[in-house]
Amino acid sequence: MWPNTELTKRLGISYPIIQSPLAGGIATPALVAAVSNSGGLGALGMGYQSAEQIRRSVKDVRGRTNKPFAINLFAHERIAADPKQIGPINQILQNYRNELWIGLPPDLEHYAPPLEEQLSVALEEKVPVVSFTFGVLPPRWIQKLKAAGILVVGTATTVREGLELEKAGVDMVVAQGYEAGGHRANFLGPVETSMIGTMALIPQMVDALKIPVIATGGIMDGRGVVAALALGAVAAQMGTAFMACPESGAHPKHKDSLLHKTEENIVLTRAYTGKTARGFKNRFTTEMATHEDRLAPYPVQYALTRNIRVAAYQQSQTEFMPMWAGQGVRLCTSRPAAVLMADIIKEVNDVIAKIRE
């Protein structure tokens, strides 16, 4: 009953289900391998990791599965911060550092790992899939990866972004709807113009692009997977659905929120990274919203809040730690990833059978 899509055929996998690359240590090698071993495609979120960390994670995944998997990187420009620009916001953030007993100042030298080094590891390790977000990889890198037999996938929030990625030569595009947990992938135009719901975005993207489209944002179970395929997507990419699995590296209190809070507790915020992201509302998101015009751009704000985030995790302080989540949060469960995959696969069959009745 399962359709063979361009993604399953290209990778030789059983099901057109992708576990979102959940950066920040949430998509652990154990989670990624469990999804790939269940016939889907697991993905490592490696945007924040150094080349060496990426190499270690890739080896870890390979020690757990011989099935295809993806790594995901951030395709943004290198950024240097203007001390005048960060002074006022850094002062505001100092209040939180004091409250969390953080003695050391933030590290303002290292904003993001060098993309070229990250890409070199992907190439050397010949990972089966490289996906990216926040922009367009340099076309010569897209060509290099493709020449090595790697499937290259970009992320778009509008049809215009999808066309730009297609022009740059990617094999497939992830279309990210407004419902999505974590960061908005937008890279053309202001974030406000990127807020298109998954239901509206997918068929428009499918019609406008010649290359295959993967749907993401708010897909939580078999019903969502069927809907994504019905809208013309070649796969469904799911993040929030996997975040409370035992294999997920999310903080236990974050998992607790995923299991007990609702879509009404979720906000869009730039407070942690400077780039708009969807997650649970807390004291930090609420108070920082009053300083919106002073926040530094991504990834400078990310560097400025680094020691606050680390301390909040260590001290289990949910009022200060980022807890990303998508709008489908009520459907989040804590099943092991292999069980969740088996249940989704069964639900898809049940939904299709029901539609046929």
Ligand X SMILES: Cc1cc2nc3c(=O)[nH]c(=O)nc-3n(C[C@H](O)[C@H](O)[C@H](O)COP(=O)(O)O)c2cc1C
Nearest to 281 by CA among 265, 292, 270, 295: 265
Task: Report the nearest approach of ligand X to the CB of residue 205 (Å).
Answer: 14
| C-beta of residue 203 within 8 angstroms of C-beta of residue 182 | no
- The span of 18-26, 50-58, 103-111, 114-122 binding ligand X (CB under 6 A) equals 18-26
- Nearest distance from C-beta of residue 328 to ligand X, angstroms: 5
Q: Is 326 in the site for ligand X (CB under 6 A)?
A: yes
Nearest CB to ligand X, comparing residues 74 and 96: 74
The residue number with the shortest CB distance to ligand X is 239
Contact by Cβ (8 Å): 147, 81: no
Is residue 186 near ligand X by the rule CB under 6 A?
Answer: no
Choosing from 8, 28, 72, 194, the residue that interacts with ligand X (CB under 6 A) is 72
Q: Tell me if 39 contacts ligand X by CB under 6 A.
A: no
Q: Any contact of residue 128 with ligand X (CB under 6 A)?
A: no
Q: Which residues, 210 to 239, sit near ligand X by CB under 6 A?
A: 216-219, 237-239
Given 29, 40, 45, 222, the residue binding ligand X (CB under 6 A): 45
- Nearer Cβ to ligand X (86/236): 236
Q: How far is CA 168 from CA 98, 112, 207, 211, in A?
A: 46, 23, 18, 12
Q: Which of 328, 332, 337, 340 binds ligand X (CB under 6 A)?
A: 328
User: How far is residue 47's CA from residue 286's CA, in Å, rounded to a whole number?
Assistant: 26
Is 130 one of the binding residues for ligand X (CB under 6 A)? Answer: no
In which residue are the tokens 């249940």 written?
A: 343
Residue among 240, 248, 301, 305 that touches ligand X (CB under 6 A)? 240
Q: Which is nearer to ligand X, 39 or 328 (CB)?
A: 328
- CA–CA gap between residue 31 and residue 218 (Å, rounded): 19
Among positions 35, 93, 121, 180, the unique one binding ligand X when judged by CB under 6 A: 180
Q: Quickly count helices (H) and strands (E) in the chain.
A: 14, 11
Q: Are strands 69-74 and 129-133 parallel, antiparallel or unpaired?
A: parallel
264-303 footprint of ligand X as x/- string (CB under 6 A): ----------------------------------------
38: exposed, middle or buried (C-beta count within 10 Å: 0-12, 13-18, 19+)? buried
CB contact at 8 A, 180 and 219: no
Q: Stretches 86-94, 226-234, 323-331, 341-349: which one binds ligand X (CB under 6 A)? A: 323-331
Q: Quick one: 23 or 32, whose CB is closer to ligand X?
A: 23
* 349 token code pair: 């069959």
Give 143-147 contacts, CB < 8 A, sequence gap 24+.
143/169, 144/119, 145/119, 146/171
57 binds ligand X (CB under 6 A): no
Task: State how far the Cα of 314 lies from the Cα of 316, in Å rounded to an integer.
Answer: 6
Interface positions, 134-153, toward ligand X (CB under 6 A): none
> How many CB atoms neighbour CB 40 within 10 A?
30
Please select the residue that binds ligand X; options are 324, 332, 341, 344, rule is CB under 6 A.
324
Kindly list the residues in this chain that would bind ligand X in the complex (CB under 6 A).
20-23, 26, 45, 47, 72, 133, 155, 176, 179-182, 216-219, 237-241, 324, 326, 328
